[in-house]
Amino acid sequence: MDKKDAIAIRLRDIKKIYKMGGQELAALNGINLDIKRGEFAALMGPSGSGKSTLMNILGCLDRPTVGSYELEGKEVAHLSDDELAVMRNKHIGFVFQNFNLLSRISSLENVALPLVYAGVGASERRKRAQEVLEAVGLGDRAEHLPNELSGGQRQRVAIARALVNNPEIIMADEPTGNLDTKSTKEIMEIFQEMHGRGKTIILVTHEPEIAVCANRQLLVRDGVITRDEGKGVVLDVV
Amino acid sequence: MAFTALYANKLRSLLTMLGIIIGVGAVIAMVSVGMGVRSNVQESIASLGSNMLIVSPGSSNRSGPRGAAGSKTTLKYEDAQAIESKVRNIDYVSPNASGNYQIVNGNQNWNTSVQGVTPGYMDIKSLSVQSGSFITQEQMNKRERVAVIGTTVAENLFGSENPVGKKIRVNNQPFRVIGLLESKGQSSMGQDQDDVVIIPLTTAQERVLGITYVNSISIQVSNAKYMDQVQEDVEILLRQRHKIVGGKEDDFHVRNLTSLMETMTQTTTMITLLLGSVAGISLVVGGIGIMNIMMVSVTERTREIGIRKALGATFNNIMMQFLIESVVIGVIGGIIGIFLGCGISSIIAKVGGFNTVITWAPIAVSFSFSVGIGLLFGILPARKAARLDPIEALRYE
Ligand SMILES: Nc1ncnc2c1ncn2[C@@H]1O[C@H](COP(=O)(O)OP(=O)(O)O)[C@@H](O)[C@H]1O
Ligand SMILES: [Mg+2]
């Protein structure tokens, strides 16, 4: 099968409608989007425009009200909760703005968590988690608790966790939103390195400097994509 | 994973367990007390002898008006003799007349129960004589003033001296001690079985009590299967002898110790179950405590649940995580409760001075109950956790 140019994500007329006390709010109002394997797309737009709502649907955390979402050729818009959980676990690595690490367990255990739900054995889990932690430069922080780490380090742990089950797609909703400039730079280097290794990356950001790291910039406004630049620049898929 | 979460909240986990600990402990302690009572009752009835029928004067109809005082006097030694000679499948018949009297030796005196019996009494009560001899038929017939005494009586009247051949006074009449009983110790009811003076029935009736009747007749049936038949035969025979015809009320009643034992066992089993189930209620309350805390725990850990779900945890994964936690509370609480219950039970036995019986049944039942309660009362919170929407859970502050 030819992997290059294969479609990783295909959205067709995606709508997300929130009902609040009789009022209907269309957070997403007809999104059409194709993202190829190996693309690095940055999602921009003003606050409240629907970026997070879109990311949640892309990340299989949420379902669209209407529309079709094909992930790696599989229609996922109307899967059950558990089927979505499996999709998240296998195909998607999610990075959050506020890290979302479990505070009571070590970095290593945090990183290994997706493998628990993938049914990987304990010793294999530790081995793989340690490898990914080393890849993000935190091999010596494996036994630290999240609150013993800096913000940048926490986000690197979170990225390691997103990578550990070797998903095709990495999604990040404002991953550098809580970080200082130096950490932001480090994190973006990791994303670019992942892109270099052939991962499909979708990243939400407010900052144009970050958006230029990506090879495609999408602008979301009032629940629709209003601008789409740099389409088609794809690195070789490994 | 479950242990980590429980360990992180040590004090809370312990307090949650407390309900289960107390519940299991109470069930085991209460049931052991109940079983103790039951075994005491069973032993004491069994010590009266197996396959025993006891004929007592007076009607068995307790609720109705009791017969005249005279009705207590209708049971005679001759009735016992008639039973022995006419009813089949009987090993021994032992009539008995007794009272409490002062026994005197020189300047020592002792108040005790004086039993007027026939020679068969020795076999029926499985007594043996350590020195001297038991009452003979001849002494019975001659109404001799002879006595066989228990070791407690001997110690109090004679000290370490051998009493056989010595004189004592029973109700101010001179008696010759002809035998000293082998010690039988305390009965299961705590009665001193060695505190007794045994004299011939005829002597007791005429020379001590001044009566012509007997207080009771014990009948040892040769085999359990004849109990009902013998009871019936005895009743027919006594009605004949006492000329009770038609609808007239009996002036005696025959009790079957085996069926008495069955009734008592039933009653004590009921009591045990009652005690156990009252204690079981505290186990259920403990379970509700688990549910309560697990609910709080689920709410507190909403964000954790959101993260786990975002990383691919399914409904079952989350369900299991919380169920295991509450089952672990149940298991640990149950184990501690078992030790507590056994401890309490042995303290009750020591302080209360009676037997408690710890059996596997209440331990197994209350333990599996506590595990089951952990499971049952864990289901609701675990479901609540497992059904959380990942996005909403992640947004939870
Ligand atoms: N769970 C929800 N219930 C109701 N309205 C929501 C919910 N989530 C988001 N919205 C609304 O949808 C719109 C888009 O929100 P969001 O996707 O978070 O925007 P962005 O991430 O671009 O700032 C906003 O108006 C927000 O108020
Ligand atoms: Mg947002």
CB-based contact A86 B308, cutoff 8 Å: no
Q: Which is more confidently placed, B2 or B106?
A: B106
Q: What band does B190 get if pLDDT is binned at 50, 70 and 90?
A: low
Whole-angstrom Cα distance, residue A93 to residue B310? Answer: 9
pLDDT on residue B61: 56
pLDDT on residue A237: 40
Are residues B266 and B386 part of one domain? yes
Are residues B215 and B102 part of one domain? yes
Are residues B19 and B136 part of one domain? no
Which of the ligands is closest to the CA of residue A46?
Answer: 1
CB-based contact B314 A56, cutoff 8 Å: no
pLDDT surpasses 60 at A2: no
A88 CB within 8 Å of a chain B CB: yes
pLDDT on residue B71: 54
pLDDT on residue A114: 97
Q: What is the mean pLDDT of residues B237-252?
A: 84
Q: Which helix (H) or strand (E) holds A90?
A: helix A81-91
Decide: B375 and B327 in contact? Cβ < 8 Å: yes
pLDDT surpasses 50 at B63: no
Pocket lining: A48 vs ligand 1, CB cutoff 6 Å: yes
Does B227 fall in a domain?
no
The domain total for chain B is 2
Phi, psi for residue B134 in degrees, rounded to 5: -90, 175
Q: What is the dihedral of CA B225, B230, B235, B240, to 10 degrees?
A: 150
pLDDT surpasses 90 at B224: no
B316 contacts on A by Cβ (under 8 Å): 82
- The last residue of one of the domains, among B221, B246, B273, is B221
Does B69 fall in a domain?
no
Decide: A181 and A190 in contact? Cβ < 8 Å: no
CB-based contact A86 B391, cutoff 8 Å: no
Owner of token pair 């140019």: A5
Pocket lining: A25 vs ligand 1, CB cutoff 6 Å: yes
Q: What percent of chain B has pLDDT over 70?
A: 95
- Give tens-digit pLDDT for B249-297: 888 888 887 777 788 888 888 888 888 888 888 888 888 888 888 899 8
Q: What is the mean pLDDT of residues B20-25?
A: 90
Out of B307, B308, B312, the one facing A118 most closely (by C-beta) is B312
Whole-angstrom Cα distance, residue A14 to residue A8? Answer: 16
Does B330 fall in a domain?
yes
pLDDT surpasses 60 at A97: yes
CB-based contact B5 A104, cutoff 8 Å: yes
Taking the CA of residue A103 and the nearest CA in chain B, the distance in Å comes to 9
- The last residue of one of the domains, among B171, B193, B221, is B221
Q: What band does B247 get if pLDDT is binned at 50, 70 and 90?
A: confident
Q: State the alpha helices, DSSP H only, in chain B.
A: 2-8, 10-47, 77-86, 121-124, 137-141, 151-158, 201-203, 227-241, 257-300, 302-310, 315-352, 360-386, 390-395
Domains of chain A, residue spans? 3-230
**In 3D, which of B161, B134, B159, B130 has the Cα closest to residue B146?**
B134
Does B53 fall in a domain?
no
CB-based contact B312 A161, cutoff 8 Å: no
Using alpha carbons, list the distances in angstroms from residue A217 to A51, A233, B122, B222.
13, 11, 111, 105
Pick the residue whose CA is nearest to atom 26 on ligand 1: A48
Query: Can you give the residue range of the structural domain that contains B95?
Result: 89-221
- The last residue of one of the domains, among B221, B236, B254, is B221
Decide: B24 and B337 in contact? Cβ < 8 Å: yes
pLDDT on residue A4: 53
Pick the residue whose CA is nearest to atom 25 on ligand 1: A48
pLDDT surpasses 70 at B60: no
Whole-angstrom Cα distance, residue B317 to residue A209? Answer: 41
Q: What band does A41 get if pLDDT is binned at 50, 70 and 90?
A: very high
A82 CB within 8 Å of a chain B CB: yes
CA of A46 to the centre of ligand 2 (A): 9
B313 contacts on A by Cβ (under 8 Å): 85, 117
Q: Which of residues 297-356 of B touch A (CB under 8 A)?
A: 303-304, 306-317
Residues in CB range of B376: below 8 A, 6 or more apart: B287
B166 CB within 8 Å of a chain A CB: no
Pick the residue whose CA is nearest to atom 16 on ligand 1: A50
pLDDT on residue A5: 64
Whole-angstrom Cα distance, residue A77 to residue A13? Answer: 11
Q: Is the pTM of this model over 0.80?
A: no
| Contacts A–B by Cβ distance under 8 A | 55
Q: What band does B64 get if pLDDT is binned at 50, 70 and 90?
A: very low
pLDDT on residue B1: 63
ipTM: 0.93
Q: What is the mean pLDDT of residues B298-310?
A: 94
CA of B187 to the centre of ligand 2 (A): 84
Are residues B386 and B268 part of one domain? yes
Are residues B391 and B273 part of one domain? yes
Mean pLDDT of chain B: 86
Is the CATH number of domain A3-230 3.90.1150.10? no
- Give tens-digit pLDDT for A189-238: 999 999 999 999 999 998 888 898 898 999 999 999 999 887 654 444 43
Are residues B118 and B8 part of one domain? no
pLDDT on residue A3: 53
pLDDT surpasses 90 at B72: no
Whole-angstrom Cα distance, residue A185 to residue A126? Answer: 28
pLDDT on residue A109: 95
pLDDT on residue B280: 85
Pocket lining: A51 vs ligand 1, CB cutoff 6 Å: yes
Out of B303, B304, B315, the one facing A82 most closely (by C-beta) is B315
Distance, first Cα to last Cα, chain B: 23
Out of A94, A101, A105, the one facing B4 most closely (by C-beta) is A105
| Position in ligand 1 atom list of the atom nearest CA A55 | 17
pLDDT on residue B261: 77
Pocket lining: A52 vs ligand 1, CB cutoff 6 Å: yes
Whole-angstrom Cα distance, residue B280 to residue B271? Answer: 14
Q: In this structure, which amino acid lies at residue B46?
A: A
Does B302 fall in a domain?
yes
B309 contacts on A by Cβ (under 8 Å): 85
* CA atoms in the 13 A half-sphere facing the CB of A199: 27
Q: What is the mean pLDDT of residues B385-392?
A: 94
Chain A residue with minimal CA distance to B303? Answer: A100
Q: Which is more confidently placed, B204 or B356?
A: B204
CB-based contact B391 A61, cutoff 8 Å: yes
Where does residue B147 rank: exposed (0-12), middle (13-18), buried (19+ CB within 10 A)? buried
pLDDT surpasses 90 at A83: yes
Taking the CA of residue B314 and the nearest CA in chain A, the distance in Å comes to 5
